[in-house]
Amino acid sequence: MKTLLWIQGLTCNGNTHSLLNAENPSFYDIFSKIKLLFHPAISSDEDLIKIIKDITQNKISLTFLVVEGSITKNKSFCRVGDFSIAEIIDQLKDKAEFIIAVGNCASFGNIPALYKENTNVVGLQYIFTEKKGLLPPNFKTKSGYPVINISGCPIHPAWFMQTILALYYEKPLILDAFNRPKEIYMYLPHDGCIRNEYFEWKEESEEFGHKEGCLFYNLGCKGPLTHAPCNKILWNRTSSKTRAGMPCLGCTEFNFPLRENYFETKKNIGIPEEVPLGVSKRAYITISGVAKSLRNERVKKKLEETD
């Protein structure tokens, strides 16, 4: 039976909380197929140190090593028994068939990597854009994959389940430039956003929480620049940030915590500093000018007032 060990570094437990909401399969369904060796929030009787020792002595085979949270060698910030989280990963890295980083902290270091009090915080294989995480840039597990990053703050539970099931059934995973499964991260929140009509006609929202208007130009929405399927795989099967009138914060990207203001679209002479992926600034300016000059009267009304 395949096995899974879940360990945590510097984390808020957000990805664990998200995983408990998994459906089809549920958290309990998946662990009827895979033996859960240990999870910090669920396991109560198991001895993690003994499990790690048994794995290193080849008494237990380890299929999936799942890591939640940023990594540090500083035991004052994170320790498991007498070991730092970095030492634990060093003991297990060559034993696991697959290593999966869940969440932006384990993937890219994220907010803990900004600590001024501890400059030794990284992701498993990355620190933000650079491949200078705990493990070497060319590191690969026994299966031949690098660390598989499921980024997000937090992850959607379906992203984890899709990935783990693909690996369980030995289906090949295509990874993007940041080692994220392409099947999940080839989409943008812009895909499937119910505000696309407003985006096309450059009708912008000025406030949060409204049904009308695009959130890109004024409110800092990163939907057209972020790799995530948030409007194709809805949260709680119901909604997403942009559907609720909240800008996408780009939390699946390597540079998520490096912004100064999450709710501002920086502009130069009225032109956004960053334009949608795949679009040149020249094309953006041209399309915006055409859309505004032709006008769509429907998108200027409250939805309840439209025909």
- Annotated binding site for [4Fe-4S] cluster: which residue ranges? 12, 105, 153, 190, 193, 214, 221
Which residues line the annotated binding site?
A: 12, 105, 153, 190, 193, 214, 221, 230, 248, 251
104 vs 113: CA distance, rounded Å: 11
Q: Retrieve residue 34's tokens.
A: 């895979």
pTM for the predicted model, two decimal places? 0.95
What residue numbers does the annotated binding site for [3Fe-4S] cluster cover?
230, 248, 251
SS3 annotation, 153-218: CCCCHHHHHHHHHHHHCCCCCCECCCCCEHHHHCCCCCCCCCCHHHHHCCCECCCCCCCCCECHHH
Mind listing the pLDDT tens digit of every residue in the chain (307 residues)? 999 999 999 999 999 999 999 998 998 899 999 999 999 999 999 999 999 999 999 999 999 999 999 999 999 999 999 999 999 999 999 999 999 999 999 999 999 999 999 999 999 999 999 999 999 999 999 999 999 999 999 999 999 999 999 999 999 999 999 999 999 999 999 999 999 999 999 999 999 999 999 999 999 999 999 999 999 999 999 999 999 999 999 999 999 999 889 999 999 999 999 999 999 999 999 999 999 999 899 999 999 999 8
**Encoding tokens for residue 188?**
């943008």
Angle, CA 19 vertex, CA 84 and CA 128 arms, to 5°: 50
178 φ/ψ angles, rounded to the nearest 5 degrees: -110, 25
Kindly state the tokens that stand for 297.
């009267």
C-alpha atoms less than 13 angstroms from C-alpha of 225 in its C-beta half-sphere? 23
Q: Phi and psi dihedrals of 204, rounded to 5? A: -100, 145
- HSE toward the beta carbon, residue 29, CA cutoff 13 A: 10
Helices 85-92 and 48-56 cross at an angle (nearest 10°) of 30
Query: Regarding beta strands 96-102 and 121-122, do their DSSP bridges make them parallel or antiparallel, or are they unpaired?
Result: unpaired
One fold for 3-186 and 187-299: no
CATH number, domain 3-186: 3.40.50.700
| Cα gap 136→124, rounded to integer Å | 9
Which residue is it, tokens 């597990």?
A: 141
Q: How many C-beta neighbours within 10 Å does residue 195 have?
A: 24
Return the domain boundaries, the chain. 3-186, 187-299
- Joined together, the tokens standing for residue 185 give 């991260």
Q: Which fold has domain 187-299?
A: Cytochrome-c3 Hydrogenase; Chain A, domain 2 (4.10.480)
